[in-house]
Amino acid sequence: MKAMTYTQYGPPDVMTLQEVATPIPTDDEIRIKVHAASVNRSDWEGLIGWPWYTRRGGLTKPSRHILGSDIAGRVDMVGKNNTEFQVGDEVFGEMANYRDGFAAHAVARGKLLALKPAGMTFEVASAIPQAGVIALQGIRDKGQVQPSQQVLINGGGGGAGSFAIQLAKLYGAEVTGVDNGEKLDFMRSLGADHVIDYTREDFTKKGKPYDFVLDLIAYRSVFAYARALKPNGKYYIVGGALSTFLQILALGPLISKTRSKHIRILAVRRNRKDLEHITELCQSGKIRPAIDRCYPLSEVPAALRYLGDGHAKGKLVITVAK
Ligand SMILES: NC(=O)c1ccc[n+]([C@@H]2O[C@H](COP(=O)([O-])OP(=O)(O)OC[C@H]3O[C@@H](n4cnc5c(N)ncnc54)[C@H](OP(=O)(O)O)[C@@H]3O)[C@@H](O)[C@H]2O)c1
């Protein structure tokens, strides 16, 4: 089968489209003929090998050679212990190891997959899993966002951020989106009431505190984040520098005690129920997966370059098979 592969960390040029062995599912797995896959920052991070925690599968070179964690396609083989899906089912979801999706076929355990709604294209379905579930668990579960609350989404113009802005608006919050200047109109189009260009302004220094901050890309100190919160406000880091994660792990509980501000890590628990819930919201038109561009499988490097260069608004999708 065709797959976009890489054997060393580096820029998108290290990737090549190759013929590799088509995977065979184990008894507990199913195989999916991939029709579409979407691009996440986790693919970019896995490609360049930074932040450092993305190298947990291989310190000096990647141990798995195919990136791609969100897929949508048709089941074409089932392991004998699998009772959930049948050959021919149209499914979508996340790959367990954030890998192996940029390929003509992928094998997966069924529990992170769901049946694709009949009226939804493979491209749209592939755009939802990782970004949509991050946003749902951030805004609904950790934020417990309420009407009229002040909510800030840092990285609001990217994949998870584009879902998070819409969800926070759906729950009635007043929303501020932070991203680079190229994405300000895009965040407004998703419903953001206020926007901040991170290349010009530091939201933690504006003197405007928030009830909830969902941070998709955190590089500041834990004290800066505490400053950006109202008393009893909550901050959750989703992605960013390893040093920021470590600082929040070490000092977050102390800040909760001394300043009544809650600063924590959002470790996403991927599951079918949440995937189905966010997909229902998309189907009902309450929110929309915002797809910037689609690329063929051979152009995964171009898609990753577009994301890495700071241009991607919302989601990028790879059409693997028509
Ligand atoms: N915690 C978990 O369990 C978990 C699970 C899965 C994924 N993740 C992480 O979730 C993160 C977000 O993923 P995603 O796919 O939504 O990423 P994304 O689509 O790349 O969105 C991130 C956005 O943040 C912007 N940005 C970059 N630097 C910024 C800064 N200093 N301040 C404000 N915005 C900035 C980016 O813009 P530019 O174009 O300017 O760079 C981009 O628009 C990733 O780091 C991923 O590793 C976490």
Does the pLDDT of residue 259 top 90, yes or no? no
40 lines ligand 1 (CB under 6 A): yes
Expressed in angstroms and rounded, the spacing between residue 305 Cα and the centre of ligand 1 is 15
Does the pLDDT of residue 180 top 90, yes or no? yes
In this structure, are residues 215 and 225 in contact, taking their beta carbons and an 8 Å threshold? yes
In this structure, are residues 229 and 209 in contact, taking their beta carbons and an 8 Å threshold? yes
Does the pLDDT of residue 5 top 90, yes or no? yes
CB count, 10 Å around CB of 82? 18
Structural Rg of the chain based on CA atoms: 19
Band (pLDDT 50/70/90 cuts) for residue 258 is: confident
pLDDT at residue 32 in the model: 98
Q: DSSP character for 56?
A: T
Query: Ligand 1, atom 21: nearest CA belongs to which residue?
Result: 158
304 lines ligand 1 (CB under 6 A): no
Render pLDDT for 98-110 as a digit per residue (tens, 0 to 9): 999 999 999 999 9
Does the pLDDT of residue 177 top 90, yes or no? yes
pLDDT at residue 53 in the model: 87
Q: What is the pTM of this model?
A: 0.98
Expressed in angstroms and rounded, the spacing between residue 181 Cα and the centre of ligand 1 is 15
Please state the atom number of ligand 1 nearest to the C-alpha of residue 54.
47
| Tokens 């930074």 sit on residue | 50
160 lines ligand 1 (CB under 6 A): yes
pLDDT at residue 6 in the model: 98
266 lines ligand 1 (CB under 6 A): yes
Give the integer Cα–Cα distance in Å for 210 and 151. 6
Q: Determine the straight-line distance between the first and last CA of the chain, rounded to whole angstroms.
A: 15
pLDDT at residue 19 in the model: 98
pLDDT at residue 56 in the model: 85
Quick one: which of 213, 220, 225 has its CA closest to 177? 213
Render pLDDT for 265-321 as a digit per residue (tens, 0 to 9): 999 999 999 999 999 999 999 999 999 999 999 999 999 999 999 999 999 999 999
pLDDT at residue 29 in the model: 96
Give the integer Cα–Cα distance in Å for 243 and 22. 39
pLDDT at residue 234 in the model: 98
Higher-scoring residue by pLDDT: 258, 33: 33
pLDDT at residue 257 in the model: 84
Expressed in angstroms and rounded, the spacing between residue 218 Cα and the centre of ligand 1 is 8
Q: Provide mean pLDDT across the span 207-213.
A: 97
Expressed in angstroms and rounded, the spacing between residue 284 Cα and the centre of ligand 1 is 26
CB count, 10 Å around CB of 63? 11
pLDDT at residue 112 in the model: 93
Give the integer Cα–Cα distance in Å for 177 and 161. 8
241 lines ligand 1 (CB under 6 A): no
Expressed in angstroms and rounded, the spacing between residue 239 Cα and the centre of ligand 1 is 6
Give the integer Cα–Cα distance in Å for 177 and 153. 5
Band (pLDDT 50/70/90 cuts) for residue 18 is: very high
Q: Provide mean pLDDT across the span 59-81.
A: 97
Query: Ligand 1, atom 36: nearest CA belongs to which residue?
Result: 155
Does the pLDDT of residue 57 top 90, yes or no? no
Does the pLDDT of residue 256 top 90, yes or no? no
In this structure, are residues 57 and 110 in contact, taking their beta carbons and an 8 Å threshold? no
Q: Provide mean pLDDT across the span 19-37.
A: 97
Query: Ligand 1, atom 41: nearest CA belongs to which residue?
Result: 310
